[in-house]
Structure 1
Amino acid sequence: MPYQIEVCVDNIESLTTAIHAGATRIELCSSLALGGLTPSYGFMLQAKQHSTLPVYAMIRPRQGDFLFSDADVAIMLEDIKAAKKAQLDGIVIGILTTKADIDYPACKRLVEAAEGMGVTFHRAIDQCKDVQQALEDIIALGCERVLTSGQKSTAEQGVATIKKMHQQAAGRIQIMAGAGVNASNAQYIIEQSSINELHLSGKTARPSRMTHIQDDAQMGASHIDDFQIPITDFSAIHAMKQALQNIR
């Protein structure tokens, strides 16, 4: 299949589901509800053992913006070492300056640390003040792809910018569309932008299988159900695969 379906997962159950549903690459995270943070080393090891697909680890030490301190970068460098030790195929990074440019020196340190692994630049590019210059900087870093929503909340809304980025890239880097991508809009995004890589989580949830729940002992924020398990929806990924197979 000429199209790539990257599925981001934050637990081993979702990894298995994504593979069986038709994903072609896995982005490994923790805390997808926060936009995706660095997965644990144990998760990296298990993912490598269970996956028949390339696995890329998100390298993002905290939620919030993409302005990282020297201490944050030090953590990211150690996490890249862990990803290499787990023999993952690549990493996913993004660091910006206070003025919303690519922090080239800091990103270069991460890319150099990942020597021998693939590198994707994530949606931090959607926060950049000059997306054209940001794309050139990412290409110069040696990244193999960039994930973007075209600086909009969803890739469908940002498809015109995604198309411009694809034209600017001119084969020097892959442009991958993500944010709100699903089976119903995949063909539109591809036909409008001419890209061939899509990124989604296909999120759903299942109830806990515990037979006893202590309702009065809330573990997290009050608006979060402790006993709803976020997982990848097989049907969402499989429907995406079917939609892409129908494109001529």
Structure 2
Amino acid sequence: MALLEVIALDARDAVAAQEGGADRVELVADMAADGLSPSPATVAEVRAAVDIPVRVMLRLVDGFAPGDLGALLRRTVELRSAGAEEFVLGFLTPDGAVDPPAVTRVVEAIDGAPWTFHRAIDHCADRSALRAAVAELPGLDGFLTAGATSGVDHGIATLVAEASGPQRILAGGGLRLDHLPPLMQAGIDAFHIGSAARPQGWMSPVSAEAVRTWRAAVDDQRP
């Protein structure tokens, strides 16, 4: 079954995503910074409100550097204690390479939990080198990527080319319904939506009806 993941900011969003047929939510805070770590209290509220998996962002500062690694590791422990069981992370050096010490230490802190390498991959200097560098880290089960910094419109050829790699491609970043046919024909079966689940914009909550539309579209495109 194809996977549909929806960005949630709080329990209300997560409930609407589940009602609409989402398989998983990505829980973040502060979309003005493209998604930072939520509070432990929010994690606990969301975990209590829904039955679907909740993948929690590990990111304390805007951009793709880890920032204060000690603070990030402390927040990771707090989020795990609040019930987080799945995560989203990814850190780059100033020259656009993966930051092995930061990624490795955070992965050690989540202790084998499943995680997604997020859209930092779209901002790296060498996608193939990044994927190879993190491929053997425990728990990694996919890359959230648009294929390009500017979104799926410009990255679709890259996504199609990477569809057969060892980790699952979670296509997201300006994803539209009309992107689904070529992506699914290439073998991509995981999709991530944010603004598409909020027809009234980011100041409004997730719409269960919008998610339902995506659920139906993803299911209709299955081979």
The TM-score normalised by the length of structure 2 is: 0.92
| 1:4 corresponding residue in structure 2 | 3
SS in 2 for 1:7: strand
Quick check: 1:67–1:98 contact (8 Å CA) kept in 2?
Answer: yes
| 1:34 corresponding residue in structure 2 | 33
Matched, 1:196 2:193: no
Offset from partner CA, 1:131-180 (integer Å, 9 cap, x none) = 1111111212231111001024222321111122223x2xx311111011
C-alpha distance in 1, partners of 2:183/2:214?
Answer: 12
| 2:94 corresponding residue in structure 1 | 98
Gapped runs of 5+ residues in structure 2? none
SS in 2 for 1:30: coil
Quick check: 1:9–1:32 contact (8 Å CA) kept in 2?
Answer: no
RMSD: 1.7
Matches within 5 A, 1:78-89: 78-89=74-85
Quick check: 1:155–1:189 contact (8 Å CA) kept in 2?
Answer: no
Gap change, CA 1:34 and 1:205, over 3 Å in 2: farther
Q: Relative to total residues, which structure has the larger helix share, 1 or 2?
A: 2
| 1:157 corresponding residue in structure 2 | 154
| 1:225 corresponding residue in structure 2 | none
Of structures 1 and 2, the larger Rg is shown by: 1
| 2:172 corresponding residue in structure 1 | 178
Where does structure 1 differ by over 6 angstroms across 4 or more consecutive aligned residues? none
- How many residues align? The count is 219
C-alpha distance in 1, partners of 2:106/2:156?
Answer: 29
Quick check: 1:80–1:91 contact (8 Å CA) kept in 2?
Answer: no
Quick check: 1:123–1:147 contact (8 Å CA) kept in 2?
Answer: yes
Q: Pick 1 or 2: higher relative contact order, CA cutoff 8 A, min separation 6.
A: 2
Offset from partner CA, 1:98-142 (integer Å, 9 cap, x none) = 110000111000001001411111000111111111111121223
SS in 2 for 1:235: helix
Quick check: 1:183–1:236 contact (8 Å CA) kept in 2?
Answer: no
Quick check: 1:60–1:76 contact (8 Å CA) kept in 2?
Answer: yes
| 2:213 corresponding residue in structure 1 | 239
C-alpha distance in 1, partners of 2:101/2:21?
Answer: 37
Matched, 1:107 2:103: yes
C-alpha distance in 1, partners of 2:162/2:90?
Answer: 17
Matched, 1:136 2:132: yes
The TM-score normalised by the length of structure 1 is: 0.83
Aligned identity (percent) is 26
| 2:64 corresponding residue in structure 1 | 66
Whichever residue aligns with residue 184 of structure 2, its letter is I
Gapped runs of 5+ residues in structure 1? 207-227
